[in-house]
Amino acid sequence: MGAIFRVNIIESENLIETIKELKKHKFKIMATSLQTEESIYEVEYKKVAIIIGNEANGVSKEILDIADKKIKIPMFGKAESLNAAVATGIVLYEYVRQKLK
């Protein structure tokens, strides 16, 4: 409980402009995508902004094109995607796990 008060969340009317501003401040932009082989367990989460797409369409091509890295959650079996909230939880858990190392 109360985690929402301890996590930096950015709401944006213009995501492209927000990403450009984050990049000016040396943030790396990571976007989830099924079109990559880079696992969430293989990247370093230092000064990053993470973009999670929706269940139906994922992250837009325009955002993927300007992202510094595309990452995915390794999946077993025939499932190819997860609910966005579940995927966010998994990615953020790995982020925290690396911070605690």
pLDDT on residue 76: 84
What is the pTM (predicted TM-score) of this model?
0.84
* Among 83, 73, 15, residue whose Cα is nearest residue 49: 15
Ranges of residues in the chain with a pLDDT under 70 are: 1, 3
pLDDT on residue 1: 64
3-100 belongs to which CATH class?
alpha beta
pLDDT on residue 63: 96
Query: What CA–CA distance (Å, rounded) separates 87 from 54?
Result: 10
pLDDT on residue 41: 96
pLDDT on residue 5: 79
Query: What CA–CA distance (Å, rounded) separates 22 from 25?
Result: 5
